[in-house]
Amino acid sequence: MDKNEKINWDELGFEYIKTDYRYISTWKDGEWDDGKLTEDNMLTISEASTSLHYGQQCFEGLKAYRTKDGSIQLFRPNRNASRLNDSCKKLLMPQLPEEKFIDACMQVVKANERFVPPYGTGGTLYIRPFIIGVGNNIGVKAAPEYIFCVFCVPVGAYFKGGLAPVNFMISDYDRAAPFGTGQQKVGGNYAASMEPHKIAVERGFADCIYLDPATHTKIEEVGAANFFGITHDNKFVTPKSPSILPSITKYSLLQLAEEVLHLEVVEGDVFIDKIDEFKEAGACGTAAVITPIGGIEYENKLHVFHSETEVGPITRKLYDTLVGIQFGDIEGPEGWIYKVK
C-alpha cells in the first residue's frame, strides 16, 4: 500500500493488504540467524521445499490492539509462541525461542504502526507468524532449512453492526484424524476444511461444525474456532479432545467465566444429540472473537439456542469482558497483556 494512501478504517474486512514491513529469519546448520525486517513481501524458495509438497509448515494468528490512550498492545503472544513450538515439534521442525517470536511480532507491529486501526473503530492489526520447510529435498523427510516470517494486515471489526448470531450445520467430513494433527496449527487441517466450508456457505450457513472424527457423536470445532455452550443451569461447557486446536481465546474465556462471571466451567464431551441442554452457544477464536451461535442444523432440524437474532446475556458479558481486556479498557489477569514499546 502506498505510503501516502489513507486507510478507510470502516471499510476494512479480513483481506490481504501489503503493509510496509515483515520480519524474516532463516534456520540453517542448526541455528536461527538474527532475523531482520524487510519491505519485500515475496519469498523465493526451492521448488523442492517440503512446505510445498508435504505440508511441512505451521502458523499462528494473533492481534495488536490500539487502546484509548493511543498505545498498542498484544494479547497473550507467549501462548502463540508455545503453540507454534508444539506444531513444530509434531512436524519435526526446529523450535523457535519464545523471546524471538515475541520480539519479531513487536518489531513488525512497531514498523507498521500506521496500520494499527484507531481505538473505537473495532479494527485490529492481525499478525500472521509462520514457519516453512525450505531447501532442496525430494523424499518425505524433514527439510534441511526453515524460514520464520511474521507479517501483518489491518482487519476490520468482526461484527460491524453489533454482535449478531449466525447459524451452522454439522459437517459429514472431518478436518483432522482422531490422533492426527488436529491439535496443531498446520496447513493440512485447513486444506481439509475448504470443501466442507464451501458446502456450508452454499447451503446458507456461516460455516460447519466438525464432530469428533472417531465416532461422529461429539462437537469438536466450529469452522476455524472453538465451541462453547452455556447450559440451562449456567455451566460454561467446552469440548476436550486430541483433535481440537487449543484455542487461546477459549482458555481465556474458561478463566474469565470462572473468575469474573463465577460460572462453573467444564471441559469435556459435548454430545451432539444433547445440544438442547444449552441455552446459549458461541464460537471463539482470535478472528471470530466470540461469535454467538443462533442455531445448529442437525438431522434436518435447526436447533436454536438463545435466539437467531439476539445475543444471549452470558455470551454478551463474556464478549464485553474479553474485548474490554484486549483493548485495554478492563484490567485482565496478570501477564495477559504485552505493551508494544
Ligand X SMILES: Cc1ncc(COP(=O)(O)O)c(C=O)c1O
Q: Which residue has cell 461484527?
A: 159
Among the residue ranges 90-98, 144-152, 165-173, 241-249, the one whose residues contact ligand X (CB under 6 A): 241-249
Among the residue ranges 5-13, 142-150, 224-232, 263-271, the one whose residues contact ligand X (CB under 6 A): 224-232
Closer of 115 and 227 to ligand X (Cβ)? 227
Question: CB under 8 Å to 204, separation ≥6 — which residues?
Answer: 167
Any contact of residue 226 with ligand X (CB under 6 A)?
yes
Closest distance to ligand X from the beta carbon of 79 (Å): 7
Q: Is residue 51 a contact partner of residue 143, using CB atoms and an 8 Å limit?
A: yes
CA–CA distance, 155 with 15 (Å, rounded to integer): 7
Select from 35, 55, 61, 242 the one that contacts ligand X (CB under 6 A). 61
Neighbours of 73 (CB within 10 A): 20
Closest distance to ligand X from the beta carbon of 76 (Å): 9
Select from 247, 291, 321, 326 the one that contacts ligand X (CB under 6 A). 247
CA–CA distance, 191 with 325 (Å, rounded to integer): 33
Three-state SS for 230? strand
Among the residue ranges 92-100, 136-144, 242-250, 319-327, the one whose residues contact ligand X (CB under 6 A): 242-250
CA–CA distance, 48 with 25 (Å, rounded to integer): 20
Any contact of residue 245 with ligand X (CB under 6 A)?
yes
CA–CA distance, 125 with 115 (Å, rounded to integer): 7
- Show the cell assigned to 178: 482422531
Closer of 19 and 249 to ligand X (Cβ)? 249
Select from 149, 150, 219, 225 the one that contacts ligand X (CB under 6 A). 225
Binding site for ligand X (CB under 6 A): 61, 221, 224-226, 245, 247-250, 285-286
